[in-house]
Chains A and B, each alone.
Chain A
């Protein structure tokens, strides 16, 4: 929903590394982790030159001492210097933990790549085996290995790695499979690149970041388990120091020298923390999907923004509300609405339209023009991070743009309802249709359980479901998409709303089902007298059902008016272009040889020019288009158009032309790619 620059699916290895490094150093935790680990490694590798004492030196004048000038971190029960022992043990701990990382992450990655490359059979076998491995009591098995092979720490850490590889496999498999199914991998297969070559050249580079993240996390796990084993007496042979062994020693003196616990525990914890911090800094996925129910903190923030919008739009700045003293029931007036990302660009600017009771308004335009954001703002259901930043949404005279969430809760469902694009995803997969419908009816109509159930059945029958009783008992995944959309419409109707916001309600459905759903909506409008705001990119839908149209481009309304006028006599070049590009708009007889296209794409909100936002793609653009363009009367009834050349175009009767595709350019591109 929130426009974001999606990373290209196929990144070069060095680009990925640079990106990862950047992300690591962007996080303070990651930087601290790297510094700590680097310092620890450097200190432990050079330990023999700088350590104040040998690990076995005993200072009987200072047994179990706290930090002193002679012993910075104190001494243990034999008067051995803790600082020296901690750093002498570091190299071994870090080194052997690395064995677990190499074996675990290495084996897990190889298995995942193998499963992804070699097909379902192999994958099923490997997955079964790893499932078994994951359901084993690992610690007990490690101890049994110690029984057989003794405390051979590198071997133990390697076996730990094997046990852990099952988990790594699980983490990496999904990603490896999705990389393996990329189109460029298919292309490489067609080109005859071997399976191994594909895995190494195309899959492995894409896994780099995950592998690094998992390595850091497993490094931490390895250290903890190694210390735990040393703690229960399966560490390096005494008197060789180990962190776990030192904590075990300290635990014997928790009564008389509790300080002994602190230095070793702190160093171990800091090291684990450092490895985790690095892993987390690298693994933090940028959150691209916005929450549909923002957190309490985000809601508080939004409440402040809403209050600001309310304060900014005083009634005097609102001629419409002033002139209409008693607005009609079911009257929606949007005035100068702006929607924006918190601290980011505006996605919708200065949008105005009216919806009279019992009429259908179409919001039309390409993807990314702000139609859905406009529609969702009517219900106060913008995704988290996006909010109405100005203007008014007047519903029966009340400004919803400045309404609190609690006030909106009284409006949603009862006054204004929503149906969305993908009915399957709009219904809760965990609850039956019956539960979802009856609980909405009970809430919105204050009905008892039995009455609500009866009403649910009536509603389902009303939206054209014949075996309502059976559908009530089903879960959403058990019904078809068209059926689910009918259920979603019934759900929207459960509060008997006066306005229905429909966000591309037919786009995800089969063509035959589309027509059924549209005719259902049309009859509902006729029967109930409710109004509809219909978001769509399909001019056929507009012609079919809408009384009025607002054509949106790049967050603005560029043309609005009665449907018949706009379809027959479009004034804005964008509307002209949409109509010329629509295969339904022309009758079969005068179907043109070539459909028109609109070159380029809708600009990102941050790239919107101050002048006409469509100018860059417009066939008629001129120097006058660089200045801001107001929305002016188009000359037909209440029609409005935002184009400085609208009159000129109308007089000359210009049409949007289907342009020839320059074939020589296509060939050149292909030649260059082959070279």
Chain B
């Protein structure tokens, strides 16, 4: 187990490094030098060259990368070319927004998906078909479209929830929850459909296992077979599905943040890409990767812990 964790940690580290290199190269391929971007149109070439020299833009790529890496390891992701603010500080403010969104959507989609999937598998018949059709529809509807419909229904028609904006948890936990409600539901819909399908398939597979027959042969009550034994057996692929889902939701938050005007990482990446703000783009790509990889690592360890075969070895 210790060896397994070490291996996975190294893999995670490698993933982040690869992305860091990739992001670095992409950022360098962006049109316009940092000087041109930060000074804007109409700046003199001399001024631009001066800024580029100060930022070390003309140094060899390798030198620049390791300088960036050295700073990044110490928590310094550079300075925004647009407003001169610290990228680290900006992202530190934004991370809780996206984290709340993605975590909320993951939890909600897992609960909803497992409920729907288990019901479909266990009840069968008409209910199974109805859930199948409903889930198929949810998969096909784009999240942003669903989001707008939610805004129309719950914010325009009846102002149950605020249409846009984000209230930090520290300011007011109640308003925080209210401000998150619509974006989280919007994001969770597609994820719930995905997890429902995964859960249904895993449950059906679990019920095909021969040990289910043994349990019935020893008069195990049906509820116990379904919700303790079969669900336990099905839990491995379900948790793996949730882990995959988190990656998608983290990316999906770009759209939710745009739609609901949430000041999160997604908004940051969209802004910085539009304005060619190189350090911000690079910072946000790396931070997003770190979060996604870390959450995946935890969920993967959870899956391994759920499997007695792997836990013992």
Contacts and interface: CB of A to CB of B under 8 A. Distances in A.
Contacts of A494: 218
B145 A268 contact: yes
Q: How large is the interface on A (under 10, 10 to 19, 20 to 34, 35 or more residues)?
A: 35 or more
Contact of A429 (B22, B137, B141, B233): B233
B296 interface: yes
B33 to A, nearest CB: 14
Contacts of A478: 312
B254 A428 contact: no
Nearest to B308: A475
A102 B139 CA distance: 22
B148 A139 contact: no
Contacts of B308: 429-430, 475, 477
Interface in A574-596: none
A269 B247 contact: no
A418 B213 contact: yes
Interface stretch (B82-90, B109-117, B224-232): B224-232
B51 interface: no
A293 B26 contact: no
Interface stretch (A130-138, A396-404, A510-518): A130-138
User: Which of A139, A145, A270, A412 has the most C-beta atoms of chain B within 10 angstroms of its own C-beta?
Assistant: A139
Nearest to B244: A134
A297 B123 contact: yes
A255 B156 contact: yes
A228 B128 CA distance: 30
Interface stretch (A419-427, A645-653, A659-667): A419-427
Contacts of B250: 137, 139-140
B209 A297 contact: no
Contacts of A477: 308-309
A289 interface: yes
Nearest to A298: B124
A296 B140 contact: no
B220 A430 contact: no
A224 interface: yes
A150 B208 contact: no
A143 B124 CA distance: 42
Contact of A138 (B11, B23, B251, B284): B251
Contacts of A297: 123-128
User: Which of B272, B284, B292, B308 has the most C-beta atoms of chain A within 10 angstroms of its own C-beta?
Assistant: B308
A495 interface: yes
A291 B26 contact: no
A430 B229 contact: yes
A293 B223 CA distance: 11
Contacts of B23: 144
User: Which of A131, A132, A135 has the most C-beta atoms of chain B within 10 angstroms of its own C-beta?
Assistant: A135
Given A139-B254, A148-B26, A430-B233, A296 B125 contact: yes
A521 interface: no
A136 B247 contact: yes
B285 interface: yes
Interface in A70-117: none
Interface of B: 11, 14-15, 18-19, 22-23, 26-27, 29-31, 121-128, 136-137, 139-145, 148-149, 151-152, 156, 204, 207-222, 225-226, 229-230, 232-233, 244, 247-248, 250-252, 254-255, 258-259, 265, 269-270, 272-274, 276, 281, 284-285, 288-289, 291-293, 296, 308-309, 312
29 contacts: A134-B247, A136-B15, A137-B247, A138-B247, A140-B250, A144-B26, A147-B30, A250-B148, A254-B148, A258-B152, A261-B145, A261-B148, A265-B141, A273-B137, A276-B136, A291-B207, A292-B208, A292-B209, A292-B210, A293-B222, A297-B126, A409-B221, A418-B217, A422-B210, A430-B232, A430-B308, A444-B218, A494-B218, A495-B219
Given A135-B296, A426-B211, 4 more contacts: A254-B152, A409-B221, A475-B309, A477-B308
Interface of A: 128, 131-132, 134-141, 143-150, 220, 224, 227-228, 231-234, 244, 247-248, 250-251, 254-255, 258, 261, 265, 268-270, 272-273, 276-277, 280, 289-298, 300, 379, 381, 409-410, 412-414, 417-418, 420, 422, 425-431, 439-440, 443-444, 475, 477-478, 488, 491-492, 494-495
The 8 closest A-B pairs by CB, nearest first: A295-B124, A297-B125, A139-B251, A297-B124, A147-B273, A418-B217, A292-B212, A148-B29
